[in-house]
């Protein structure tokens, strides 16, 4: 069984996807981390994200693995645990730029399809229900009010980065939404057969409970 969860930044996708995966005993693949990993590698190598061919080469040569962690799943990039550094909004913005690169998407989408091939997986991102697994068994599209999403992000990073203001995060989120919705390749759009859930007024537990009910009975392979 493949469960696809798409939606904009801060809609709650990854928290919800991870909880659903652990309750159903499914594998969890956070595809945003893969675009973030390419962006991070490019930054380390001082490659301008607009340099299409060099960025594509980074995507072709990088090794990205997911490993179980205590609270959150770990992202191992070329053997190094990059989980905390990938989460910053700076890397998020760079990821949105590299994600507009067609060659990068081809490489990462093929890897995602391989990772999900054996089934019983929850995969979240922007194009899972439309491009990566158009035949997924269940597709969700999570949305939430833009200000609410910025508030969630602000709360998440406030303890670690108290200097980052809400206004800054709100502005970055608006920019990222615009880039994700308006790029030429695989823009952020709900799959026609996806279930749309507005999480603005909902807490995580309620979202997870509703989704698990909609997923219904699960059979082990
Ligand atoms: O989900 P997350 O915020 O980690 O994603 C970072 C960026 O990676 C997104 O803003 C988007 O541009 C890109 N992305 C994508 N397709 C996916 C997952 C993420 O284009 N399936």
Domain count, the chain: 1
Atom 3 (ligand 1): residue with closest C-alpha? 9
Give the nearest ligand 1 atom to 6 CA: 21
Atom 10 (ligand 1): residue with closest C-alpha? 96
Q: Residue 166 is part of which domain span?
A: 2-209
- Answer yes or no: is 220 within a domain: no
End-to-end CA distance of the chain: 9
Any atom of ligand 1 within 6 Å of the Cβ of 127:
yes
- Answer yes or no: is 32 within a domain: yes
- 132 has a pLDDT exceeding 80: yes
How far apart, in whole angstroms, are the C-alpha atoms of residue 209 and residue 204?
A: 9
State whether residue 96 is helix, strand or coil.
helix
CATH at residue 134: 3.40.50.300
- Answer yes or no: is 218 within a domain: no
**Over the stretch 8-51, which tens digit does the pLDDT of each residue have?**
998 999 999 999 999 999 999 999 999 999 999 999 999 998 89
- The CA-atom distances, in angstroms, between 63 and each of 18, 66, 79, 91, 211 are 22, 10, 8, 18, 32
- Answer yes or no: is 45 within a domain: yes
- Answer yes or no: is 35 within a domain: yes
- Can you give the pLDDT at residue 221? 59
- Can you give the pLDDT at residue 39? 97
Any atom of ligand 1 within 6 Å of the Cβ of 125:
yes
**Over the stretch 173-186, which tens digit does the pLDDT of each residue have?**
999 999 999 999 99
- 94 has a pLDDT exceeding 70: yes
């Amino acid at each position: 069984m493949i469960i696809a969860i798409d939606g904009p930044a801060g809609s709650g996708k990854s928290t919800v996807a991870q909880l659903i995966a652990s309750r159903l005993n499914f594998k969890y693949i956070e595809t945003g981390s893969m675009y973030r990993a390419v962006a991070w590698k490019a930054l380390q190598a001082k490659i301008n994200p607009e340099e299409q061919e060099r960025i594509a080469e980074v995507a072709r040569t990088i090794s990205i693995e997911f490993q179980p962690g205590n609270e959150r799943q770990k992202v191992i990039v070329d053997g190094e645990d990059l989980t905390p550094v990938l989460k910053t909004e700076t890397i998020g913005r760079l990821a949105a730029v590299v994600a507009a690169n067609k060659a990068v998407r081809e490489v990462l989408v093929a890897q995602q399809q391989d990772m999900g091939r054996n089934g019983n997986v929850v995969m979240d991102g922007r194009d899972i229900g439309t491009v990566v697994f158009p035949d997924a068994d269940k597709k969700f599209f999570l949305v939430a009010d833009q200000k609410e999403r910025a508030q969630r992000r602000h709360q998440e990073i406030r303890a670690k980065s108290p200097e980052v203001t809400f206004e800054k995060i709100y502005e970055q989120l608006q920019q990222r939404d615009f880039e994700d919705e308006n790029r030429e390749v695989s823009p952020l759009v709900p799959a026609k057969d996806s279930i749309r859930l507005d999480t603005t007024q909902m807490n995580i537990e309620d979202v997870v409970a509703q989704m698990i009910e909609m997923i219904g009975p699960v059979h082990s392979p």
